[in-house]
Structure 1
Amino acid sequence: MLSSLKRFLIGRPLKSAELGEQKLNKTKALAILSSDALSSVAYGPEQILIVLFTVGAAAFWYSIPIAIGVLILLLALIASYRQIIFAYPHGGGAYVVSKENLGIYPGLIAGGSLLVDYILTVAVSVSAGTDAITSAFPSLHPYNVIIAIAFVLFITTLNLRGVTESASILAYPVYLFVLALFVMIGVGIYNIAAGDVSSELHTSIGTPVAGIGLFLLLKAFASGSSALTGVEAISNAIPNFKSPAPHNASKTLIAMGSLLAVLFTGIVFLAYYYGVTPKAEVTVVSQIAEQTFGRHFMYFFIQGTTALILILAANTGYSAFPLLAVNLAKDKFIPRMFTIRGDRLGYSNGIIILGLFSIILIIAFEGQTEHLIPLYAVGVFIPFTLSQSGMVVKWIREKPAGWVSKLIVNSIGAAISLIVTIMFFLTKFVQIWSIIVFLPLIIYLFYRIRKHYESVGDQLRLSTCEPAIPIEGNVIIVPVAGITHVVENSLNYAKSLQAHQVIAVYVPFEREDEAAFEEKWKNWQPDVRLVTLHSPYRSIIQPLSKFIDTVQRKAGESNYQVTVIIPQFIPKKGWHNILHNQSSLLLRTHLLYRKNVIVTTVPYHLKK
């Protein structure tokens, strides 16, 4: 049944030879890898207005110069990441760049930040998309968390079906969103040019505003920079592109940057001209759409496509997180299970873990986007700063042809990213302090995992491990609970091994049971030695463990191996297992952690 459900949800398994068919062309890649960056225009401008609103609506004109600053940062990042794509065509993005040029620990900081950031990408995108839906239908506000979790489960399932299949589905809402916003921006500008929008709705650019200071402006700039999250995703996911991957990735990056610049500028301008004020339960985009079209078809079309892209922007995390996890796993900093491809040739373990942690975040923050965005943004700008700094070091060290211009581009990108990062810590410390705690813990966890793998490798390597002690014989212990076909099956198997000695062990809780069982055993298996271990405290494992210790000490003197054969019956139906005490399972689990004891289970399958 579970297998049939799995096939229904994620489809038939794909052969390894079909991996090439799972690569993305530029059109699909733009949809699947740019949805995060493009969707951020739905909340990036709003974050600027929220900061400026603390002074008053008269300060909204500052959103225009702040938006210009964000566009300059976008240009620097696009130029910088374009160079990273060609310098590191196998992907890995900020983690690989930082590790190779700045060292292991800067690389781990970048990698750890991005892993957390991609989890936040899913949580923020889905929460913001849910906000867009509940803005249009206020009666759904109490169900924000439930709706968000349902969307995470849907996107996780979609990605388990494979990269190209999810891209084919996601391309439509992404391009519909871009079209919808272009129409809204175009109609809005036309209305302004036609004089249909009152100029009294906003203050003129340059109007003096009391209470505005450099600190507030930098805080607004840092908040608006949250619109640039997701820019790095393409450089992480180069292996997902069709050949020639670097050239296709570069063109996709430029297309994404161009669309992001136009949409961000248009929304900031319309929000300023319309005098839109940020509200708790109605998004800025919703207000602009309502003022442009009224609550008619186009309003709901824009809200619908905005909700869709915000929710599906989570897919950027699903595309980049597994590939980053693969690079970290190959370097032995996280479990190797992240390098394993699933039935549909995607890195399904990474996809599932990402979905699970995103749901935990949504529940913890109750789906409130404004509480997640600061953590989300700072988690991006730390890797931004490290990757650009790493490229600066690379150009200075290698000095390839044209390195000076490349150095200037990356230096500008590093400087601006560092300023934004510092601004986040200065202006939003109360909201992002947790990253200072969790990032060192994540890096320490990376370090411990790496140490474990190195330790295991040293112990397993033939050139370093101790030579194996030759086994002269075998002493077999068979725990028995009664005289049954299950025990008979296990004893027959034990005898077939031609062991030095086979010992059956019975643990009775009552003295009268002990004598009765010994008599029955003598008549049934007189050639197999029986040892009874009375247990007044009704424990099977403790007396059996002491007996194994005794046998092991004596067997060790003659280089004999101790083997414990555990009889176990297997019910015909899986649910029948809950009707039995599973003592064999508990015993096996206990014995597996004992040194120099081999544990074997002999199953006896029931027929009805």
Structure 2
Amino acid sequence: MLSALKRLLIGQPLKSAELGDQKLNKTKALAILSSDALSSVAYGPEQILIVLITISAAALWYSVPIGVGVLILLLALILSYRQIIFAYPRGGGAYVVSKENLGVNAGLLAGGSLLVDYILTVAVSISAGTDAITSAFPSLHPYNVNIATLLVIAITILNLRGITESASILAYPVYLFILALFILICVGLYKEVTGTVSPEVHVTMGTPVAGITLFLLLKAFASGSSALTGVEAISNAIPNFKEPGPKNASKTLAAMGLLLAILFSGIVYLAFAYGIVPKAQETVVSQIASYTFGRNYMYYIIQGTTAMILVLAANTGYSAFPLLAVNLARDKYIARMFTIRGDRLGYSNGIIFLAIMSIILIITFKGRTEHLIPLYAVGVFIPFTLAQTGMLVKWVREKPKGWIVKLTINLIGALISFTVMLIFFITKLGQVWPVFIFLPLIVYTFHKIKKHYEAVGEQLRITTCEPSVEIKGNVMIIPVAGITHVVENSMNYAKSLAPDQIIAVYVAFDREAEKQFQEKWECWQPDVRLVTLHSHYRSIIQPLTKFIDTVEHKANESNYRVTVLIPQFIPKRNWQHILHNQSSLLIRAFLLYRRDLIVTTVPYHLKK
């Protein structure tokens, strides 16, 4: 039944030869990898206004020059990540660039930051989308966490079906959002140009404002830069593109940058032209749409597509997280299971892990993850800064043709990214201080995992100087609970291996049962030695393991190996397992980690 449900939800397994069919063309890649960046248009300009309004409404005109500054940073990032795509065509983005040019720890810091950022992307985006839904239907507000969890599960299932299939479905709402905002901006600009909008609704640009400081302007710039989260996702996901991967990825990156620049600048300018003041009850995009169209069908289309893009922004995390995890796993910094492709040729372990961590965050913060947004932004600007600094080192070291221009691009990007990161740390220290704790812990964990894998490899390698121990013989211990076909099956198997000695062990809880079993055994298996152990406290494990320890100690002195052969019957139906004491599983679990002991199970399958 579980297998049938899995096939229904995920689909039939794909052959490895079909991997090429799971690659993305530029149209689908733009939709699936740009949703995070494009969705930030819905809150990036608003973040600028929220900071400026703390001075006065007169200060809101600064949003236009601040928006220009954000666009300059966007251009620097797009040009920088385009260079990264061609320099590192296998993907990995900031992690690979930092590791190869700045050292392992810098790479792990970038990789760890991005892993956390993608988890936050899913949690924050889904929660924001859920808020949009429950705002439209207030009666659903008590079920925020349930709705958010269901949305995570739905997007997870969609991604487990394969990247091509998920991209085909998710492309429609993404492009619908882009079209809706283009219409909004065009109609809004037309009204502003034709004089429909009164120039008196906003303060003239250049008007002196008392109380404005450079610090506050930088804070507003940093807040607006949150609109650039997700820009790096394409450089991480180059292996998902159809060939030629780097060329297609760079074109997709350029298209994303152009769309983001147009939508961001359009919303910023219309907010200034309409004299929009941020409200707690209504978003800036909602106010612009309301002023432009009134509360008609176009308003609701814009609000609906905005809610959809906020939910679908989570899909950028689902696209980029598994591929970044693959790069870290190949370098042995996280579990190797992240390199395994699932039935539908996606890295399903990474997808499932991302979903679980996101749901935990949503439940922990009860679907209200607004105060995680600063962490979310910092998690991006740390890799931004490291990646561009790494590219600086690369150009200086290698000096390829035209390296001065490339160096200049990365230098500008690195300086702006570093400035934004510092502003976040200075102005939002109370919200981002956990970064100073969990990032070092993540890097430390990466090193511990790497050390473990290296130790395992060293011990498994047959070229190591550790001498192998010559085994002279084998002693088999068989725990028995009665005289049954299950025990008979195990006895026959043990005898077929011709060990030096077979010892059957029976643990009795009362003396009379012990005596009766010994008599029956003498008649049934007279050639097999039986050891009976009396348990005063009705425990099977304690007396059995004590006896095994004694035998093992004597066997090791003579270079004999001890094997514990555990009889186990398997019910015909899976649900029938719960009706039986799982003594054999308990014994196996308890003995499995003994150093010089071999533990094996002999199954006996029931037919009824």
TM-score, structure 1 length as denominator?
Answer: 0.98
Kindly indicate whether residue 410 of structure 2 is the aligned counterpart of residue 424 of structure 1.
Answer: no
Residue 604 of structure 1 aligns to a residue whose secondary structure is strand
**Paired AA for residue 97 in structure 1:** V
Q: Give 2:503's aligned residue.
A: 503
* C-alpha contact 2:481 2:507 (8 A) present in aligned 1: yes
Question: d(CA) in 1 for partners of 2:267 and 2:119?
Answer: 27
Q: Which moved more, 1:561-570 or 1:509-518?
A: 509-518
* C-alpha contact 1:135 1:286 (8 A) present in aligned 2: no
1:463 Cα offset (Å): 1.1
Q: Which moved more, 1:8-17 or 1:309-318?
A: 309-318
Kindly indicate whether residue 531 of structure 2 is the aligned counterpart of residue 531 of structure 1.
Answer: yes
Question: d(CA) in 1 for partners of 2:67 and 2:132?
Answer: 23
Kindly indicate whether residue 446 of structure 2 is the aligned counterpart of residue 446 of structure 1.
Answer: yes
Q: Give 1:101's aligned residue.
A: 101
**Paired AA for residue 596 in structure 1:** D
Question: d(CA) in 2 for partners of 1:127 and 1:170?
Answer: 18
Q: 1:306-353: CA deviations, max 9, x gaps? A: 111111111111111111101100100000000000000000000001
Structure 1 segments unaligned to the other structure (5+ residues): none
Question: d(CA) in 1 for partners of 2:134 and 2:184?
Answer: 20
RMSD, matched Cα: 1.3
Question: d(CA) in 2 for partners of 1:151 and 1:556?
Answer: 57
Question: d(CA) in 2 for partners of 1:370 and 1:556?
Answer: 61
Q: Give 2:256's aligned residue.
A: 256
**Paired AA for residue 112 in structure 1:** G
Q: Give 1:483's aligned residue.
A: 483
Kindly indicate whether residue 573 of structure 2 is the aligned counterpart of residue 573 of structure 1.
Answer: yes
Kindly indicate whether residue 387 of structure 2 is the aligned counterpart of residue 380 of structure 1.
Answer: no
* C-alpha contact 1:136 1:300 (8 A) present in aligned 2: no
Residue 478 of structure 1 aligns to a residue whose secondary structure is strand
Kindly indicate whether residue 26 of structure 2 is the aligned counterpart of residue 30 of structure 1.
Answer: no
Q: 1:120-148: CA deviations, max 9, x gaps? A: 11112212222333343344333322222
Q: Give 2:86's aligned residue.
A: 86
Q: Which moved more, 1:100-109 or 1:371-380?
A: 371-380
* C-alpha contact 2:36 2:316 (8 A) present in aligned 1: yes
Question: d(CA) in 2 for partners of 1:212 and 1:105?
Answer: 40
Residue 33 of structure 2 aligns to a residue whose secondary structure is helix
* C-alpha contact 1:490 1:565 (8 A) present in aligned 2: yes
Q: Give 1:136's aligned residue.
A: 136
**Paired AA for residue 160 in structure 2:** L
Question: d(CA) in 1 for partners of 2:538 and 2:210?
Answer: 80
1:291 Cα offset (Å): 2.0
* C-alpha contact 1:46 1:284 (8 A) present in aligned 2: yes
Kindly indicate whether residue 150 of structure 2 is the aligned counterpart of residue 155 of structure 1.
Answer: no
Question: d(CA) in 2 for partners of 1:225 and 1:106?
Answer: 23
**Paired AA for residue 280 in structure 2:** A
Q: Give 1:463's aligned residue.
A: 463
* C-alpha contact 1:365 1:372 (8 A) present in aligned 2: no
Structure 2 segments unaligned to the other structure (5+ residues): none
Kindly indicate whether residue 204 of structure 2 is the aligned counterpart of residue 204 of structure 1.
Answer: yes
Q: 1:131-167: CA deviations, max 9, x gaps? A: 3333433443333222222111111111101111111
**Paired AA for residue 337 in structure 2:** M
Q: Which moved more, 1:441-450 or 1:501-510?
A: 501-510
Residue 218 of structure 1 aligns to a residue whose secondary structure is helix
Residue 254 of structure 2 aligns to a residue whose secondary structure is helix
Question: d(CA) in 2 for partners of 1:133 and 1:257?
Answer: 28
Q: Give 2:324's aligned residue.
A: 324
**Paired AA for residue 177 in structure 1:** F
Question: d(CA) in 1 for partners of 2:205 and 2:251?
Answer: 36
**Paired AA for residue 584 in structure 2:** S
Q: Give 2:220's aligned residue.
A: 220
Residue 475 of structure 2 aligns to a residue whose secondary structure is strand
1:267 Cα offset (Å): 0.8
Q: Give 1:347's aligned residue.
A: 347
Question: d(CA) in 2 for partners of 1:23 and 1:425?
Answer: 39
Distance of aligned partners of 1:357 and 1:15 in 2 relative to their CA distance in 1, 3 Å threshold: same
* C-alpha contact 1:132 1:286 (8 A) present in aligned 2: no
Residue 601 of structure 1 aligns to a residue whose secondary structure is strand
* C-alpha contact 1:459 1:465 (8 A) present in aligned 2: no
Residue 445 of structure 1 aligns to a residue whose secondary structure is helix
Q: 1:12-66: CA deviations, max 9, x gaps? A: 1000000011111111111111111111101111111121222232321111111
Residue 400 of structure 1 aligns to a residue whose secondary structure is coil
* C-alpha contact 2:362 2:369 (8 A) present in aligned 1: no
1:478 Cα offset (Å): 0.5
Alignment of 1:1-20 (within 5 A): 1-20=1-20
Distance of aligned partners of 1:459 and 1:469 in 2 relative to their CA distance in 1, 3 Å threshold: same
Question: d(CA) in 2 for partners of 1:43 and 1:31?
Answer: 19
**Paired AA for residue 174 in structure 2:** V
Residue 533 of structure 1 aligns to a residue whose secondary structure is strand
Question: d(CA) in 2 for partners of 1:234 and 1:389?
Answer: 19
Q: Give 2:291's aligned residue.
A: 291
Question: d(CA) in 2 for partners of 1:576 and 1:201?
Answer: 74
Residue 89 of structure 1 aligns to a residue whose secondary structure is coil
**Paired AA for residue 376 in structure 1:** Y
Residue 384 of structure 1 aligns to a residue whose secondary structure is helix
Alignment of 1:110-125 (within 5 A): 110-125=110-125
**Paired AA for residue 362 in structure 2:** I
Q: Give 1:230's aligned residue.
A: 230
Q: 1:401-458: CA deviations, max 9, x gaps? A: 1100100000000000000000000011111111111000000000000000000011
* C-alpha contact 1:365 1:371 (8 A) present in aligned 2: no
* C-alpha contact 2:185 2:267 (8 A) present in aligned 1: yes
Residue 175 of structure 2 aligns to a residue whose secondary structure is helix
Question: d(CA) in 2 for partners of 1:545 and 1:207?
Answer: 85
Q: Which moved more, 1:66-75 or 1:463-472?
A: 463-472
Q: 1:366-424: CA deviations, max 9, x gaps? A: 32353121111110000000000000000000001110010000000000000000000
Question: d(CA) in 2 for partners of 1:18 and 1:511?
Answer: 66
1:210 Cα offset (Å): 2.9
TM-score, structure 2 length as denominator?
Answer: 0.98
Question: d(CA) in 2 for partners of 1:278 and 1:606?
Answer: 70
Question: d(CA) in 1 for partners of 2:198 and 2:585?
Answer: 77
Q: Give 2:310's aligned residue.
A: 310
1:99 Cα offset (Å): 0.4
Distance of aligned partners of 1:223 and 1:243 in 2 relative to their CA distance in 1, 3 Å threshold: same
Q: 1:566-602: CA deviations, max 9, x gaps? A: 0111111111111112111010011110011111101
Residue 452 of structure 2 aligns to a residue whose secondary structure is helix
Distance of aligned partners of 1:163 and 1:108 in 2 relative to their CA distance in 1, 3 Å threshold: same
Q: Among the aligned pairs, what percent are the same residue?
A: 76
Distance of aligned partners of 1:349 and 1:425 in 2 relative to their CA distance in 1, 3 Å threshold: same
**Paired AA for residue 311 in structure 1:** V
Question: d(CA) in 2 for partners of 1:425 and 1:59?
Answer: 24
Distance of aligned partners of 1:363 and 1:326 in 2 relative to their CA distance in 1, 3 Å threshold: same
Question: d(CA) in 1 for partners of 2:251 and 2:258?
Answer: 11
1:178 Cα offset (Å): 0.3
1:216 Cα offset (Å): 1.3
Q: 1:59-114: CA deviations, max 9, x gaps? A: 21111111111001001111111111111111110000000000000000000000
**Paired AA for residue 493 in structure 1:** Y
1:501 Cα offset (Å): 1.0
* Count of aligned pairs: 608
Residue 155 of structure 1 aligns to a residue whose secondary structure is helix
Residue 282 of structure 1 aligns to a residue whose secondary structure is coil
Q: 1:550-581: CA deviations, max 9, x gaps? A: 11122223322111110111111111111112
* C-alpha contact 1:570 1:603 (8 A) present in aligned 2: yes
1:465 Cα offset (Å): 5.0
Question: d(CA) in 1 for partners of 2:277 and 2:481?
Answer: 76
1:290 Cα offset (Å): 1.8
Q: Give 1:592's aligned residue.
A: 592
**Paired AA for residue 79 in structure 1:** L
Question: d(CA) in 2 for partners of 1:514 and 1:38?
Answer: 75
